[in-house]
Amino acid sequence: MDACIMNVLLFTSIFELFSSEDEDNDLSDNFIVKTCQKFIPVTDYYDGDRFLTVQEGVWKATPLLLTIAVIELSDIAFAVDSIPAVFGVTRDPFIVFTSNLFAISDKSVGNELLVL
């Protein structure tokens, strides 16, 4: 029964994803974006493939750096989310710590390879 409910939810999501028209989403109201902008001054424009640029004599991040920051924060969120699953397999804290450490570093390396 649970599998049927999940399948219905999955197919409903797929239908909505492919049937909706392409529309640009404004991510400036995103919680992670707003939090990053509090700590990192960000320009409104991209400067080629640069992460940092000088605007009015001040070094500021471009939206490209903000994108990388959001990706890394989501990687950390998924790693923290998987801690209970690892505890379901083992009670050894060293295994839990190293498995999450390698999961985060693996995702980071994969993301950096995509950027190159």
Three-class HEC string of the chain: CHHHHHHHHHHHHHHHHHHCCCCCCCHHHCHHHHHHHHHCCECCCCCCCCCEEEECCEEEECHHHHHHHHHHHHHHHHHHHCHHHHHHHCCCHHHHHHHHHHHHHHHHHHHHHHHC
Q: Does residue 112 or residue 33 have the better pLDDT? A: 33
What angle (nearest 5°) sits at the alpha carbon of residue 72, between those of residues 66 and 95?
Answer: 165
Asked whether residue 103 carries a pLDDT value surpassing 80, the answer given is no
User: Tens of pLDDT along 66-93?
Assistant: 888 877 777 777 777 778 888 888 888 8
Q: Domain limits of the chain?
A: 2-115
pTM of the model: 0.57
User: Tens of pLDDT along 3-61?
Assistant: 778 888 888 888 887 876 766 677 777 787 888 888 888 888 888 888 899 988 899 98
User: Tens of pLDDT along 43-55?
Assistant: 888 888 888 999 8
